[in-house]
Amino acid sequence: MPVQNFEQIFQGKIDNEVKIEPKDWMPDAYRRTNIRQISQHAHSEVVGMLPEGNWITRAPSLKRKAILLAKVQDEAGHGLYLYSACETLGVSREETMNDLHSGKAKYSSIFNYPTLTWADIGAIGWLVDGAAIMNQVMLTRTSYGPYARAMVRICKEESFHQRQGFESLLVLSRGTEEQKAMCQDAINRWWWPALMMFGPKDSESTNSDQSMKWKIKRKSNDELRQNFVDMIAEQIKTLGMKLPDDKLKWNDERRHYDFGEINWDEFWQVVKGNGPCNKQRLDARKKAWEEGEWVREAAAAYARKKASPNPSKGGALEAA
């Protein structure tokens, strides 16, 4: 069959909402776009463990410590599902990881901001996971089957995280003056970076049109961003806090909130690597990977010994 026909069959499936599966024919660009997007997503989960992990040993109660540990662990789990989804497209986890470490692959810029106080943990749960969910709910219907299925599992856990983050801020918002100030300060610092998570404006987004046609994406950056603003502008009323935007105002005609202009210079600076923690985050990942090398080698060497026909001894592993 000529390529032309393969492409027609492929686009026909997309148009009829039939999922594309690993062994199906797909255009190279579709494969590459999915690899890029899924691996970036996986890296975001894994790098995202760092800013929150920063507060695990200092969590203010045993309950909060357990919740935070479980949350960061969930993110590692999400990373695993997504690296596996990526492998179905023919790239190994090792290759994908190497692209992260070399700086070739990106991850969500939001994790290049520091977690300075305990309230940042609540703000990340509420705003960052909240923004991620907007995107991820859409992705449960993305056209590539393994990615869509991974997102269904991930979304369930993420919405739980968002509620936990909000609840944690709610406690601060009803606490002492110092706690309230800590809460407001965290919202001030995380609000604009959270809005940037949806990416450039539609008019400037280079990957969008083709992704929409292939139903990798189903909503535009600006649409998702607006949905997020509308949701948070309502939820913040319960906290009795303020979003740091003078232009935020309900527009009765549009049936949406209007909001101020994002600082796009800052957005591009962080993308380019000049955010407050770009270097630290990447260094931490590289360090974990490099310092783990001897461990991975030892595990592989031991597995080879056990697989060889003449094992030296046996038993204790099974009996342990």
Partner 1 sequence: METTYSNNKFSKVPPQDGFRVAYILHLADNSLILGQRNAEWCGHGPVLEQDIAITNISLDLIGQARSFYQYAAQLINQHSPSPGGGRGEASEDSLAYLRTEREFKNCLLAEQPNGDWAQTMLRQFLYSTYQYYLYRFLQTNSDTTIAGIAEKSLKEVSYHLRWSSEWVIRLGDGTEESHKRMLRAVDELWSYTGELFIPAPYEKELSIDTAFLKDDWAKKVNTVFDEAALTVPSNVFMQEGGKTGTHTEHLGYILSDLQYLQRAYPGCDW
CA distances from 100 to 55, 64, 107, 200, 267 (A): 24, 31, 8, 22, 20
Looking at beta carbons only, is 307 or 319 nearer to partner 1?
Answer: 319
Query: Which of 161, 69, 54, 51 shows the shortest CA–CA distance to 111?
Result: 51
Do 153 and 80 touch, CB atoms closer than 8 A?
Answer: no
Do 91 and 35 touch, CB atoms closer than 8 A?
Answer: yes
Minimum gap (Å) between residue 319 Cβ and partner 1: 7
Looking at beta carbons only, is 42 or 197 nearer to partner 1?
Answer: 42
Q: Beta partners for 251?
A: 256
Packing angle of the helix pair 129-139, 221-239 (nearest 10 deg): 140
Site stretch for partner 1 (CB under 8 A), options 13-21, 29-37, 100-108, 285-293: 285-293
Looking at beta carbons only, is 122 or 146 nearer to partner 1?
Answer: 122
Looking at beta carbons only, is 72 or 132 nearer to partner 1?
Answer: 72
Provide the mask over 6-45, with x wherever binding to partner 1 is found by CB under 8 A and - wherever it is not.
----------------------------------------
Quick one: which of 57, 206, 308, 310 contacts partner 1 (CB under 8 A)?
A: 57
Q: Is 53 in the site for partner 1 (CB under 8 A)?
A: yes
> What is the length of the chain?
320
Q: Is 116 in the site for partner 1 (CB under 8 A)?
A: no
The alpha carbon of 152 is separated from its chain's Cα centroid by a whole number of angstroms, namely: 14
Q: Is 307 in the site for partner 1 (CB under 8 A)?
A: no
Q: Is 279 in the site for partner 1 (CB under 8 A)?
A: no
Q: Beta partners for 17?
A: none
Q: Is 163 in the site for partner 1 (CB under 8 A)?
A: no
Minimum gap (Å) between residue 59 Cβ and partner 1: 8
